[in-house]
Amino acid sequence: MATLKKCVISRYDKSIKKPPYKTIPIDKVNVYEPDNDDGGVEFAMRLRNCCREKGYYFKFYTTSSDENFDYELVVE
């Protein structure tokens, strides 16, 4: 079984040159997170593939600070 996770796709605001860096939301996607995933590899591959299908280059993901989303996917 898998759990549906809401994800926001974002990229870094290039106008900010010093920390703290901020991201700009650009898209969103829903992805199923497997219940049994050895080290999160399968889930990361699913996230990468979803980004690739939308034309983005996946860099990493983290928990979202927005309560409407489970994860934030940072892309280039």
Instruction: State which residues form the domain around 37.
Output: 2-75
Model confidence over 39-53: pLDDT tens digits? Answer: 889 999 999 999 999
Residues of the chain with pLDDT > 70, as a percent, come to 100
Query: Tens place of pLDDT for every residue, the chain, 76 residues?
Result: 789 999 999 999 999 999 889 999 999 999 999 998 888 899 999 999 999 999 999 999 999 999 999 999 999 9
pTM of the model: 0.91
How many domains, the chain? 1
CA distances from 58 to 11, 29, 39 (A): 10, 13, 18
